[in-house]
Structure 1
């Protein structure tokens, strides 16, 4: 009979920032700053993806008002379009990711993109909470850094006050 030898991980313990030396505080500050930059970049990428999915919904709605054979511009890249004709207003090709396309009815395609927009909205909300927490951590580290620098400079000033 096999037993599970893995132990549940304990939650991270809080560290008293005042006990850390200046060099270590600077390292913590730099690490949090890098994490914030990464998270902010990820947040912007999710927002961009969400906007693209919203554009897809709009494109489907606008494309439905056209008849078969209507001249259209087909996007090959975000900035390159080629002329084409609308084959059928009854179906659309939906990019489901990694270069795969599926033919769907317009209502189903709109629902697919609507679900994507909602999912990204939830992810953005979660990521925003994480970013706010990291910003709070960064503020705390910066406060302690300032206090330590003031303490060190006042200690150095006290040492200079000998008889003279």
Structure 2
């Protein structure tokens, strides 16, 4: 994706310095959209995780006469909590990477705009 000084993220690296301000603006817009979408997904996963944790708490405080079913439910919700936790961690890493890419694009775009403003008119 975005690269500066040879640093490479996922996929093919692009030297941001070679892109025009229009291209950088388009990349920035795309990254803004991706970060927003991923942040919303993160919120939804966190809400689901909270619900599963609450279900786990309810099951664990259930009746002892249903011990076998309680154990199965506890195992199920434990597994779901762990799975969602792993998904959230992975999503955090992706959001962080996209945010870093966005910062790099913004910095290069800012530098190009400043450089264009400093050039004398012909």
- What TM bracket, shorter-length normalisation? 0.7 to 0.9
Give the structure 2 partner of residue 90 of structure 1. 66
Segments of 5+ residues of structure 2 without an aligned counterpart are: 1-9
Taking the TM superposition and a 5 Å limit, the aligned residue runs for 1:5-84 are 12-64=11-63
Cα distance, 1:12 vs. partner? 3.3
Q: Deviations over 1:61-91 (max 9, x none)?
A: 23326xxxxxxxxxxxxxxxxxxxxxxx527
Q: Deviations over 1:23-80 (max 9, x none)?
A: 1110100000100011111111111101000000111123326xxxxxxxxxxxxxxx
Segments of 5+ residues of structure 1 without an aligned counterpart are: 1-10, 66-88, 92-103
Cα distance, 1:143 vs. partner? 0.3
TM-score (norm 2): 0.85
- Contact kept? 2:16, 2:24, Cα under 8 Å: yes
Three-state SS of the structure 2 residue aligned to 1:159 is coil
Structure with greater proportional helix content:
2
CA distance, structure 2, for counterparts of residue 12 and residue 57 of structure 1: 39
Give the structure 1 partner of residue 7 of structure 2. none
TM-score (norm 1): 0.64
Three-state SS of the structure 1 residue aligned to 2:61 is helix
- Contact kept? 2:62, 2:70, Cα under 8 Å: no
Structure with greater proportional strand content:
1
| Alignment counterpart, residue 123 of structure 1, candidates 87, 90, 107 | 87
Structure with larger Rg:
1
Number of paired residues? 113
